[in-house]
Structure 1
Amino acid sequence: MTKQIEMTLNELSYPVNVTIYHNMAVVPKACILYFHGGGLLYGSRLDLPQLHVNSLTNAGYLIISYDYPLAPAAKIDIILKSVIDSINHYLLNRSLYVSQELPYFLWGRSAGAYLCLLASKDQRLLLPPKGILSYYGYGFLCDSWFDTPNSYYCSLPPVNSSCLNAVSDQVHTEGNLDSHYSIYVYARQTGSWKSLFYEGRDKYFFLDYSLRTCEKLPAPLFCAHSMNDTDVPYSEFLNLCSMYQAKQFVVPGSVHDFDRNEADPAATQLLNATVEFLNNHTDRFL
């Protein structure tokens, strides 16, 4: 039976909530630190489908899911620092999470994968992970797709900039769909997405907040993507895999977060491939 434990980390630069998923009947062999998607503008640590929770905890992996500050109230420097602080908190306080010292992996979906990739190479991280799971993630390796209008979102009813007034300008970590998703649609319709989470010269964005200058990641990489992804182009996935010799999982179709449909066989296949990757990179440390 999977037990769900809630914590709040008040001692970090910005307080974040944490949810731990642990199958009490299975001896854990590693921890997975999870960061949700949402274009840095919305989302919640509680977005994991039950299929994912069951598949990974049944296989012996304890999942620790974190919130983080959201744009536009928080910019990428603050967001990334929060993610690194959360990972370091686990590394310095493992007994709060699990009764034994275990290797850890980073796992993100979409924007969460982007944050995991950035965090993994950051010198502020106390210890690198044993592996990184990127579900439809990105590193801003290809030009234009993120700062020009997106054809899929432009096919939706237009969203006015007034949507920005509906959310707090105070730093916060909860971004529900009702209040925050329209900001992402607006950002992708207008090509203003990057400007909502980064302020500064492009030169420093690519130096500090992309993977363009990162020749090597500190851990093996698993990447999953759909071939006609509406949010993150397939070319971004191919570049990411090519740069870091990633283990690939590819599905046809155009759904960005294709694994959200638990009834789709692709979701089960993805989880099976994920567990295989985790096992391959965990066994050597046991």
Structure 2
Amino acid sequence: MLQTKDIALGNTLYAKYATIYFDPNIIHKAVILYFHGGGLLYGNRNDLPEFHLNTLVNSAYIIISFDYPLAPAAKIDVILDDICCSINYYHKHSKFLIGSTLPYFLWGRSAGSYLCLLAASCGKLISAPRGIISYYGYGFLCDNWFNHPSNYYCQLPRVSEACLSKISSKIHSQGNLDTHYSTYVYARQTGNWLKLFFDDREKYFYLNYTLRSCTSLPCPLFCAHSTNDTDVPFTEFTELSQLYSAEKYITSGKIHDFDRDETAASTLRLLNSTIQFLDKLL
């Protein structure tokens, strides 16, 4: 039976928590450290669908979902450092968190995947994960899609720059759809997304916060994407999966987070493929 436990993590920047999903009646194989999506601007650690949680926990995995600080209050250097601290916290305190020491995987959806990939490649982790699971993730490997107005988002009602004044300037990790999603729409409509989470010279972004100079990862990679993704172009997925010889799951459609439909056959196939990837690395 799926159980949850919230843990407060010491942090000087903001009130930080992790949620642990587990079945106490199962002998666990490994831990999955999860980071949510939201373009670095919205979202929260409790966004995983029940179907995903039950399927993975019933397959003998523990999931630990972490908070992380959101832009524009926090820039990418602060966000990435927080991600690495969370991963290293598990390494140092696994017995406190789960009562034992188990190998770990990284799992991110969208921006969470981007952060997992950066963390694994930056050299700041105490130990490498067994593998990385990327659902519709990216590494900013292709030009123009992220720093130009998005055709898809420009079809939505126009969002003004005034939306930014409604977001707290204090470091925080909870970005609800009704308060924060408009900042992402604004960012994609104007092509100003990068400016909201990075404020240095652009060349340093490409050097330090993309995967363009990372020729290899310390572990295998699983990538999932839809062919007509509205947020992250399929060409980005192609570059990412080819660069790291990733195992791939591809589905047709025009939805970014296509696995939001818990009843779709493609979601079941995705999770089965994910579990096969995990199991064979243990």
TM interval, short-chain normalised: over 0.9
TM-score, scaled relative to structure 1: 0.97
Amino acid at match of 1:240: L
Q: Check 1:193–1:150 CA distance in 2 against 1; reply closer, same or farther (3 A cut).
A: same
How many Å apart are 1:97 and its aligned residue? Answer: 1.5
Tell me what 2:263 maps to.
263
SS at match of 1:169: coil
SS at match of 1:92: helix
CA distance in 2, matches of 1:15, 1:204: 30
Amino acid at match of 1:51: F
Taking only the aligned residue pairs, the percentage that are identical comes to 54
CA contact (8 A) 1:12 1:85 kept: no
CA distance in 2, matches of 1:56, 1:12: 32
How many Å apart are 1:162 and its aligned residue? Answer: 0.4
Tell me what 2:153 maps to.
153
Amino acid at match of 2:231: D
Tell whether 2:174 aligns with 1:174: yes
How many Å apart are 1:15 and its aligned residue? Answer: 3.9
Aligned residues: 282
The 5 A counterparts of 1:27-38 are 27-38=27-38
Deviations 1:2-53 (A, max 9, x none): 1100011124654421000001221111000000000000001000000100
SS at match of 1:129: coil
Tell whether 2:245 aligns with 1:240: no
SS at match of 2:40: coil
SS at match of 1:93: helix
CA contact (8 A) 1:39 1:184 kept: yes
How many Å apart are 1:200 and its aligned residue? Answer: 1.0
Deviations 1:123-168 (A, max 9, x none): 2111110000000000000000000000000000000000001110
Deviations 1:219-248 (A, max 9, x none): 000000000000000000000010000000
The 5 A counterparts of 1:1-20 are 1-11=1-11, 14-20=14-20
Amino acid at match of 2:170: Q
The 5 A counterparts of 1:77-88 are 77-88=77-88
CA distance in 2, matches of 1:131, 1:247: 11
CA contact (8 A) 2:21 2:57 kept: yes
Tell me what 1:123 maps to.
123
CA contact (8 A) 1:136 1:226 kept: yes
Tell me what 2:225 maps to.
225
CA contact (8 A) 1:12 1:86 kept: no
CA contact (8 A) 1:51 1:262 kept: yes
CA distance in 1, matches of 2:279, 2:7: 28
Structure 1 runs not aligned, ≥5 long: none
CA distance in 1, matches of 2:42, 2:137: 16
CA distance in 1, matches of 2:147, 2:168: 24
Amino acid at match of 2:184: Y
Q: Check 1:2–1:78 CA distance in 2 against 1; reply closer, same or farther (3 A cut).
A: same
CA distance in 1, matches of 2:50, 2:272: 14
SS at match of 1:83: helix
SS at match of 1:148: coil
TM-score, scaled relative to structure 2: 0.99
Amino acid at match of 2:260: R
Tell me what 1:143 maps to.
143
Deviations 1:86-105 (A, max 9, x none): 01111000111112211000
CA contact (8 A) 1:113 1:136 kept: yes
CA contact (8 A) 1:13 1:82 kept: no
CA contact (8 A) 2:13 2:171 kept: no
Structure 2 runs not aligned, ≥5 long: none
CA distance in 1, matches of 2:229, 2:123: 32
Q: Check 1:221–1:12 CA distance in 2 against 1; reply closer, same or farther (3 A cut).
A: farther
CA contact (8 A) 1:73 1:169 kept: yes
Tell me what 1:103 maps to.
103
SS at match of 1:130: coil
SS at match of 2:281: helix
Tell whether 2:91 aligns with 1:91: yes
Tell me what 1:200 maps to.
200
